[in-house]
């Protein structure tokens, strides 16, 4: 009993430690420079580890004893009962925006996630960590003539930043040899900031600035199941995976602030208002399903589909700036290891590739008075590089995504991202053998 208490204590300690990591790094968080992140909850982030992002983001049916997969908590029981896993990921890249003949390229980079997994016996395992949920990051502006004042203009600048993160604690149970169940309980938290500044080129003019500070808190639940079908050939297996997340409210607090200033003079607060709500935003119903064909320690090939009911979750906002829509996401991917026991290093590397596509969870207003939908398509290449101990790995993933608006009046975006993660595998509970 004391052994299990020690393991649970370790998990809780890790959770507290991991929660502090993104807090310390949040000031440098800059994973997007997208004007679209001005709307809703910002740009939704991937919650898959880099090892699975290299496979297009496959998660539902993936069971690997060396990969932590919090997207389906049923996968935790795939780990060896004597092994501790830790995974920490970072990313950086280039974000290019194109509209008509205009282009703008910006560098982005961010802390991605930190997760840990620990066995609790032959048929039980637990995981904890911190995952990204959404990010706000944009800087853009426009110049417009001042109504009724010939020859004068106003400069309007938009700026936003912030992110939402999710701390989770999950458990999995394998009641039958080919069936596993799991559940994650999570806490979503973070702050989003938006600013709109208007500056007139008229001397002694009153220049207003509008601020919105949004604080979000929410609880979440994710239930997962995986079934394994062994094939006649040894080591060959088909895995099926399902997950479900219920709709739950988000608690939000908005501070709306308007200030006014004259060039060279102090700034004055014109108005300030605080609004607390449990209906402005909500976590949507989410369901995913997938399958994977595996050859032990050699090949993984699979496909995923995920459905999120954002149209219902954001219906209470009644916003004229955006509209929530239900989201579909699909992924195809594979991983291949030529020979994990070879003396040749290149043959022990995991080579990964994948494709993914989705529609946005929001429709954004356009210059014609209507709304634009947009779609995102992308591809990934990845490597799983074994370290000297042959258990731990460095995952390197190169990804490209193209955000395509449904109308020619919309803004297109290109993302080129390089992700790096350390997957640490340590046999904590194996007894030391002395010769």
Cα–Cα distance for residue pair 36/32, rounded to 1 Å: 10
What separation in angstroms does the CA of 31 have from each of 78, 110, 132, 399? 31, 5, 10, 14
**Rounded distance between C-alpha atoms, residue 246 and residue 251, angstroms:** 16
- Residue 25 has phi, psi (to 5 degrees) of -95, -5
For the domain covering 2-426, report its CATH number.
2.40.160.60
On whether the CB atoms of residues 61 and 302 are closer than 8 A, the answer is yes
- Rounded Cα distance between 411 and 409, Å, is 7
At 27 the pLDDT is 40
Residue 150 burial (CB count, 10 A): 6
Cα dihedral angle (310, 313, 318, 321), rounded to 10 degrees? -40
Question: Phi/psi at 7 (nearest 5 deg)?
Answer: -70, -45
How far apart are the C-alpha atoms of 111 and 21, rounded to whole Å?
A: 9
Q: Which residues pair with 196 in a beta bridge?
A: 158, 210
**Phi, psi angle pair for 312, to nearest 5°:** -75, -40
Is the Cβ–Cβ distance between 137 and 34 less than 8 Å? yes
Give pLDDT, residue 26: 45
Q: How far is CA 221 from CA 187, 362, 395, in A?
A: 9, 23, 28
Residue 162, phi-psi category: left (phi > 0), alpha (psi -120 to 50), beta (remainder): left
Buried b (16+ CB within 10 A) or exposed e, 109-148: ebbbbbbbbbbbeeebbbbbbbbbbbbbbbebeeeeeeee
User: Residue 237: its pLDDT value, please?
Assistant: 96
User: What are the CA-CA distances from residue 387 to residues 40, 63, 340, 391, 398 (Å)?
Assistant: 42, 21, 12, 7, 20
pLDDT of amino acid 157: 92
Three-class DSSP labels, 270-291: EEEEEEEEEEEEEECCEEEEEE
Main-chain dihedrals φ then ψ at residue 38, nearest 5 degrees: -70, -20
State whether residue 165 is helix, strand or coil.
strand
Q: From CA 11, how far away is CA 5, in angstroms rounded?
A: 10
DSSP 8-state assignment for residue 57: S
DSSP string across 314-361: TGGG--SS-EE--EEEEEEEEEE-S-TT-SSGGGGSEEEEEEEEEE-S
Query: Residue 429 CB: number of other CB atoms within 10 A?
Result: 14
Signed CA dihedral, 18, 23, 26, 31: sign only: positive
Asked if 279 and 316 count as a contact pair (C-beta separation under 8 A), the reply is yes
- What integer pLDDT is reported at residue 105 of this predicted model? 81
pLDDT (tens, 9 = 90+) of the chain, 435 residues, equals 455 555 555 555 555 555 555 444 444 456 678 888 999 999 999 999 999 999 999 999 999 999 999 999 999 999 887 788 999 999 999 988 887 777 888 888 888 999 999 999 889 999 999 999 999 999 888 888 877 777 788 889 999 999 999 999 999 999 999 999 999 999 999 999 999 998 888 777 888 999 999 999 999 999 999 999 999 999 999 999 999 999 999 999 999 999 988 866 778 888 889 999 888 899 999 999 999 999 999 999 999 999 999 998 887 665 667 888 999 999 999 999 999 889 899 999 999 999 999 999 998 877 777 788 899 999 999 999 999 877 899 999 999 999 988 877 678 899 999 999 999 887 654 544 444
Burial of 344 (0-12, 13-18, 19+ CB in 10 A): exposed
For residue range 233-247, list pLDDT tens digits in order: 999 999 999 999 999
Q: Determine the pLDDT at residue 427.
A: 63
How far is residue 188's CA from residue 140's CA, in Å, rounded to a whole number? 28
Question: Euclidean distance between the first and final Cα of the chain, in Å?
Answer: 30
Q: Annotate 230-272 with DSSP letters as a single string.
A: E-SSTTEEEEEEEEEE--EEEEEEEEEEEEEE-TTS-EEEEEE
Residue 16 region, left (φ>0) first, then alpha (ψ -120 to 50), else beta? Answer: alpha
Instruction: Note the pLDDT of residue 95.
Output: 87
* Residue closest to 303 by CA, chosen among 384, 363, 241: 241
């Amino acid at each position: 009993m004391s052994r299990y208490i020690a393991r649970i204590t370790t998990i809780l300690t890790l959770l507290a430690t991991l929660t502090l990591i993104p807090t310390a790094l949040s000031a440098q968080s800059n994973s997007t420079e997208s004007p679209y992140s001005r709307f809703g909850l910002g740009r939704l982030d991937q919650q898959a580890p880099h090892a699975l992002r290299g496979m297009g983001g496959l998660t539902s049916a993936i069971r690997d004893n060396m990969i932590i997969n919090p997207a389906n908590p049923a996968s935790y029981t795939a780990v060896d009962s004597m092994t501790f896993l830790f995974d920490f990921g970072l990313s950086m890249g280039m974000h290019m925006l194109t509209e008509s003949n205009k282009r703008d390229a910006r560098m982005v980079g961010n802390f991605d996630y930190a997760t840990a997994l620990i066995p609790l016996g032959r048929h039980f395992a637990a995981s904890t960590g911190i995952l990204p949920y959404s990010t706000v990051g944009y800087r853009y502006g426009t110049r417009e003539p001042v109504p009724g004042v010939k020859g004068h203009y106003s400069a309007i600048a938009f700026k936003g930043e912030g992110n939402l993160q999710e701390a989770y604690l999950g458990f999995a149970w394998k009641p039958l040899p080919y069936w596993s169940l799991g559940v994650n309980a999570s806490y979503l938290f973070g702050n989003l900031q938006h600013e709109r500044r208007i500056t007139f080129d008229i001397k002694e003019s009153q220049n207003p600035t509008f601020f919105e500070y949004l604080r979000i808190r929410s609880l979440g639940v994710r239930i997962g199941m995986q079934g394994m079908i062994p094939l006649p050939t040894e080591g060959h297996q088909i895995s099926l995976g399902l997950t479900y997340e219920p709709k739950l409210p988000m608690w939000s607090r908005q501070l709306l602030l308007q200030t006014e200033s004259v060039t060279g003079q102090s700034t004055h607060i014109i108005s300030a208002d605080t609004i607390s709500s449990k209906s402005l935003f909500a976590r949507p119903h989410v369901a995913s399903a997938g399958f994977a064909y595996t050859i032990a320690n050699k090949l993984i090939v699979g496909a995923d589909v995920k459905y999120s009911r954002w149209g219902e979750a954001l219906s209470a906002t009644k916003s004229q700036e955006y509209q929530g829509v239900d989201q579909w996401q699909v992924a195809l991917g594979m991983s291949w290891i030529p020979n994990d026991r070879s003396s040749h290093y290149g043959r022990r590397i995991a080579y990964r590739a994948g494709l993914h596509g989705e529609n946005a969870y929001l429709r954004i207003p356009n210059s014609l008075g209507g709304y634009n939908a947009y779609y995102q398509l992308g591809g990934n290449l990845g490597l799983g590089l074994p370290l000297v101990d042959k258990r731990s790995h460095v995952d390197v993933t190169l990804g490209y995504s193209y955000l395509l608006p449904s109308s020619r009046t919309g803004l297109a975006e290109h993302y080129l991202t390089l992700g790096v993660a350390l997957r640490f595998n340590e046999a904590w509970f194996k007894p030391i053998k002395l010769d």
